[in-house]
Amino acid sequence: MSKIAIIQRPPVLLDRAATLARAVQSVAEAAAAGASLVVLPELYIPGYPSWIWRLAAGRDGALMGQLHGLLLANAVDVSGDDLQGLYQAARRHGVSIVCGINECERRQGGGTLYNSVVVIGPRGELLNRHRKLMPTNPERMVHGPGDAAGLRAVDTPVGRLGTLICWENYMPLARYALYADGVEVYVAPTYDSGESWITTLRHIALEGRCWVLGSGTLLRGSDIPEDFPGREQLFADPDEWINGGDSLVVDPTGRLVAGPLHREEGILYAEIDVARVAPARRTLDVSGHYARADIFELQVRRTPACSLRQIDG
């Protein structure tokens, strides 16, 4: 059995250093409660660009450009030291961490942002970085499309872990790529919420016969910083729930075992047992005896993986 923790707290929007500090504090709190895996939301550092759902590219181009510039300046370059605080926290507390980031390649002079998620091991090592394959709707004005370098599961102390981000989870072949790679703990950081999303994650647990951890985004009008450009235009109501979170945990039979944590700031805890995965696949193993390899074949074109950085003690 392993205790996992899903952090459902807002970022300090557009402030990488302050959001990283908040993440490190949450990791320490979860580790003190006995968690061995800590999950943070989609694009947590330095926050999901919620404004894209409220601005028009032509009409609001100047404001959109200003916000994009701030997002890019506070994005994470995985090849540098931007995540040093999380690496150190993982090593200090002996926990694995999954965290969503706005990723850039600053050292290569790139201006493209990626919707990415990193998996950090308990020795402070970067185990994987996955870039969202297809940004959804207005997200395409912010993030470039990802690749399959990180479309895989990796071994962690809590089990073989893989991630798909938000509406990637509606891509059957992307899900299957993780199933075929032996995923046992399936992590879905997301900006989505509500009953349809909860139903989706329960279906994935049933389909893949794996543990599913849904990490939702929590954001209220009062969480928007006072100096946020266009705050009065975009987020005038401090009592508005911009996103209600709905973090949850589903077992390999599709049963909700924790959450959804709705419109509530905090940490969602659950005990998971990956030993339940293999018996659940006795009746349905979609990448095994149910795959019908004589009829179907999956081919994943993985580009060369990024240079994953080992953080030494």
Q: Which residue has the tokens 């049933």?
A: 206
Q: Domain ranges in the chain?
A: 2-280
Which conformational region is residue 102 in: left (phi greater than 0), alpha (psi within -120 to 50 degrees), or beta?
beta
Which tokens in the block code for residue 22? 């908040």
Give dist(CA 269, CA 121) in Å, integer.
Answer: 19
166 is catalytic: yes
Angstrom distances, CA of residue 51 to CA of 78, 79, 233, 264? 25, 28, 10, 22
Give dist(CA 239, CA 254) in Å, integer.
Answer: 34
Catalytic hit among 99, 103, 139, 166: 166
Which tokens in the block code for residue 66? 């200003």
Give dist(CA 192, CA 48) in Å, integer.
Answer: 11
pLDDT level of residue 310 (50, 70, 90 thresholds): very low
The number of residues making up the chain comes to 313
Residue 233: closest CA among 221, 243, 223: 221
For 289, residues 6+ apart whose C-beta sits below 8 A from its C-beta are none
Give dist(CA 91, CA 102) in Å, integer.
Answer: 23
pLDDT, tens digit, 9 for 90 and up, residues 286-305? 999 999 998 998 999 887 54
Q: What is the pLDDT of residue 108?
A: 66
Instruction: Cite the DSSP H helix spans in 74-194.
Output: 84-93, 172-180
Q: What is the pLDDT of residue 309?
A: 45
For residues 271 and 61, the model is more confident at: 271
Catalytic hit among 103, 104, 132, 168: 132
Q: Is pLDDT of 132 > 70?
A: yes
pLDDT level of residue 106 (50, 70, 90 thresholds): confident
Q: What is the pLDDT of residue 244?
A: 96
For 259, residues 6+ apart whose C-beta sits below 8 A from its C-beta are 6, 214, 246, 247, 248, 249, 268
Q: What is the pLDDT of residue 312?
A: 41
Q: What residues pair up with 37 in beta bridges, in sequence order?
A: 4, 96
pLDDT, tens digit, 9 for 90 and up, residues 147-171? 999 999 999 999 999 999 999 999 9
Give dist(CA 1, CA 183) in Å, integer.
Answer: 17
For 211, residues 6+ apart whose C-beta sits below 8 A from its C-beta are 159, 184, 185, 186, 205, 249, 250, 251, 252, 272, 274, 277
Task: Report yes or no: 254 and 273 within 8 Å, Cβ to Cβ.
Answer: no
Question: 2-280: which CATH architecture?
Answer: 4-Layer Sandwich (3.60)
Give dist(CA 247, CA 214) in Å, integer.
Answer: 5
The mean pLDDT value of the chain amounts to 94
pLDDT, tens digit, 9 for 90 and up, residues 57-100? 788 889 989 999 999 999 999 999 999 999 999 999 999 999 99
Give dist(CA 70, CA 18) in Å, integer.
Answer: 14
Region 253-270: what's the mean pLDDT? Answer: 97
Q: What is the pLDDT of residue 143?
A: 96
Q: What is the pLDDT of residue 57?
A: 77
The pair phi, psi for residue 280, each rounded to 5°, is: -65, -25
Residue 221: closest CA among 203, 230, 208, 234: 234
For 283, residues 6+ apart whose C-beta sits below 8 A from its C-beta are none
Q: What is the pLDDT of residue 110?
A: 67
132 is catalytic: yes
Burial class (CB in 10 A: 0-12, 13-18, 19+), 286: middle
